């Protein structure tokens, strides 16, 4: 059973960058599809990116595509979310999540697709 811990959040100005980390313990990330989600104040949790453990292929939702990039470092058992050109509307608590069943070519962006969650890290984009 995997445990996930997010880090790297903080306060950044519009147009700035942050890199979030999702460190895994208790199991290797090779056995899990990993997704990044975010939840803004008063809104539901939104899936924004995921990465396949089969071939490292990725999916990003349109609202972040071209600005955010999900990537994994198997040696460090960590998945990252590089966020560039941040906007105030990116302000949210960011979560990573894992699921241990997956199929090639499928990407998982719904909260009920995942059974393992981190505690979240706050990202605030403000001048």
73: Cβ–Cβ under 8 A, 6 or more apart, which residues?
A: 79, 80
Over the stretch 29-76, which tens digit does the pLDDT of each residue have? 889 999 999 999 999 999 999 999 988 899 999 999 999 999 999 999
- What CA–CA distance (Å, rounded) separates 35 from 97? 5
Structure tokens at 63: 């609202």
Over the stretch 2-31, which tens digit does the pLDDT of each residue have? 999 999 999 999 999 999 999 999 999 889
Q: Nearest CA to 73 among 16, 124, 4, 21? A: 21
pLDDT band with cut points at 50, 70 and 90 for residue 124: very high
- What CA–CA distance (Å, rounded) separates 87 from 17? 10
Q: What is the dihedral sign for C-alpha 39, 40, 42, 43? A: negative
């Amino acid at each position: 059973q995997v445990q996930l811990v997010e880090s790297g959040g903080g306060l950044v100005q519009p147009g700035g960058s942050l890199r979030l980390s999702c460190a895994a313990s208790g199991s290797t990330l090779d056995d899990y599809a990993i997704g990044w989600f975010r939840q803004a104040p008063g809104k539901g949790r939104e899936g924004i990116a995921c990465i396949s453990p089969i071939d490292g292929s990725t999916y990003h939702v349109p609202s972040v595509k071209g600005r955010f990039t999900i990537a994994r470092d198997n040696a460090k058992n960590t998945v990252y979310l590089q966020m560039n050109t941040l906007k105030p509307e990116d302000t949210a608590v960011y979560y990573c999540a894992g699921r241990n069943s997956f199929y090639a070519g499928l990407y998982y962006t719904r909260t009920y697709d995942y059974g393992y969650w981190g505690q979240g890290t706050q990202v605030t984009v403000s001048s």
